């Protein structure tokens, strides 16, 4: 069982170890999901931290969603031993952005807006590893409903291997690391309690049911504690009167 991460920094540390293990076992389409509000605003810093697992001669190429974010990263990072480009420049075809020297591809915060370029890149990369760092694929509704969403789910999302997943909710925490189950914890005052393990990613209905069960259990415990406390008070009062 993996240690429960308490913040994004710890989650990234765990994700790095999970990715190294997955790469060593030949996984080619790696997905790292850290589902917290405004995570995209931290994309540049998270990326710089994450790529520390790669050696200088790894042939790493980083793809940002658009020209603006790619240009900002190049400016802030200065000279690097890896190249930085984007998925969204309509003036340059995606096939022209992939070189033979590019051996590992890292896509930072990609979304369904770039889906055509992403699918093309996956096809061109063949067996070269592609890592999706904090992808914004959680809400499939942005690309439509019904057959369109189902087709994208079948054609693309199912080709990705969830190597690391961290999703804190109001009352639950979902954590998964490569080759381990999906662990679901309930949040307590200063700790977490494991309440479920699953072999596949839990869907929203399963999470809602777990949340409901925890509310029922907590309310039951509270009610029992209150009842016990009331009975104890009555007994103390009786004891006092009998003296």
Q: Ramachandran region of residue 26, left (φ > 0), alpha (ψ -120 to 50) or beta?
A: left
Q: What is the pLDDT of residue 21?
A: 97
Task: Calculate the average pLDDT of the chain.
Answer: 85
Contact 32, 49 (CB under 8 A): no
Please say if the pLDDT value at position 230 is more than 70: no
How far is Cα 64 from Cα 73, in angstroms, rounded to an integer? 9
| pTM for the whole structure | 0.83
Contact 123, 75 (CB under 8 A): no
Lowest mean pLDDT among 4-8, 26-30, 107-111, 217-221: 217-221
Lowest mean pLDDT among 20-24, 62-66, 102-106, 220-224: 220-224
More confident residue, 235 or 119: 119
**169: nearest Cα among 210, 121, 116, 128:** 210
Averaged pLDDT for residues 38-55: 94
Can you tell me whether residue 204 is helix, strand or coil? helix
How far is Cα 134 from Cα 31, in angstroms, rounded to an integer? 8
Please say if the pLDDT value at position 153 is more than 90: no
How far is Cα 172 from Cα 34, in angstroms, rounded to an integer? 14
C-alpha distance from residue 102 to each of 28, 97, 150, 156 (Å): 14, 10, 32, 22
Please say if the pLDDT value at position 73 is more than 60: yes
Can you tell me whether residue 64 is helix, strand or coil? strand
Averaged pLDDT for residues 129-155: 73
How far is Cα 131 from Cα 19, in angstroms, rounded to an integer? 9
| Domains of the chain with CATH codes | 8-168 (3.40.50)
């Amino acid at each position: 069982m993996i240690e429960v991460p308490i913040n994004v920094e710890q989650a990234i540390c765990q994700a790095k170890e999970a990715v190294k293990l997955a790469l060593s076992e030949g996984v080619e389409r790696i997905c790292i999901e850290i589902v917290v509000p405004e995570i995209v605003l931290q994309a540049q810093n998270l990326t710089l931290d994450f790529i520390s697992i790669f050696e200088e001669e790894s042939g790493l190429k980083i793809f940002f969603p658009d020209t603006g974010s790619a240009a900002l990263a190049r400016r802030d990072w200065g000279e690097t031993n890896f190249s930085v480009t984007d998925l969204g420049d309509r003036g340059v075809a995606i096939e022209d952005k992939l070189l033979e020297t590019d051996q590992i591809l890292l896509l930072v915060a990609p979304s369904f807006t770039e889906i055509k370029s992403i699918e093309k890149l996956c096809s061109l990369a063949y067996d070269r590893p592609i890592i999706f760092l904090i992808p914004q694929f959680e809400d499939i509704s942005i690309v439509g409903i019904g057959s369109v969403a189902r087709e994208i789910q079948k054609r693309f999302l199912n080709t990705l291997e969830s190597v690391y997943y961290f999703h804190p909710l109001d009352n639950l925490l979902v954590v998964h690391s490569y080759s381990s189950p999906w662990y679901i914890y309930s949040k307590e005052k200063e700790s977490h309690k494991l309440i479920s393990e699953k072999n596949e990613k839990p869907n929203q209905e399963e999470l809602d049911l777990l949340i409901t069960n925890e509310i029922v259990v907590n309310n039951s415990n509270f009610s029992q504690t209150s009842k016990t406390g009331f009975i104890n008070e009555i007994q103390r009062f009786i004891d006092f009167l009998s003296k």
